[in-house]
Amino acid sequence: MDFIVDNAVALSAIALGVLVLAGLAVAGIAGFRLWRAVRAAQRRATEAAEQLAAESDRLTASLAQLPERQAELQASIAALQKRAAAASVLAGSASEALAVLRAPLRYLGR
């Protein structure tokens, strides 16, 4: 008991260091999981945007072949363009989030 009383400051500093390192480890793991989730979301958004662009191109070709359905197809194209714009905004946001997550790596030299 005398050892603890005599070395209370040093033992407190060691305990604080261990707790800080444990907290940093938990925060690092959570950050890594978030980074992976953002990367996966960005990949899905990019794939969805590519699919929407392909569908928009297909509808544009169909529009040229079928003039009697022109109004219906134009509405579909407009809706697809809105969805593609939304997907590109999501992809941009995911890219920005990924850049924010990677920002600390610049300070670590990676």
pLDDT tens digit sequence for 62-109: 777 777 667 777 888 899 898 888 888 888 888 888 888 888 877 776
* The pLDDT value given to residue 14: 95
* The pLDDT of residue 30 is above 90: yes
From residue 15, alpha-carbon distances to 8, 22, 23, 33, 61 in Å are 10, 11, 12, 27, 69
Alpha helices in the chain (DSSP H): 2-6, 8-65, 70-108
* The pLDDT value given to residue 68: 67
Tokens 């662009």, residue?
53
Tokens 């793991």, residue?
29
How large is the average pLDDT for residues 10-19?
A: 94
Q: Is the pTM of this model over 0.75?
A: no
Higher local confidence (pLDDT), 91 or 110:
91
CB atoms within 10 A of CB 34: 12
* The pLDDT of residue 110 is above 70: no
How large is the average pLDDT for residues 21-27?
A: 95
Per cent of the chain over pLDDT 90 is 31
Q: What would the two tokens of residue 87 be? A: 């997907």
Report CA 46 to chain centroid distance, whole Å.
12
Q: What residues contact 91, with CB distance under 8 A and at least 6 apart?
A: 42, 45, 46, 49
Q: What would the two tokens of residue 105 be? A: 């790596």
How large is the average pLDDT for residues 40-44?
A: 91
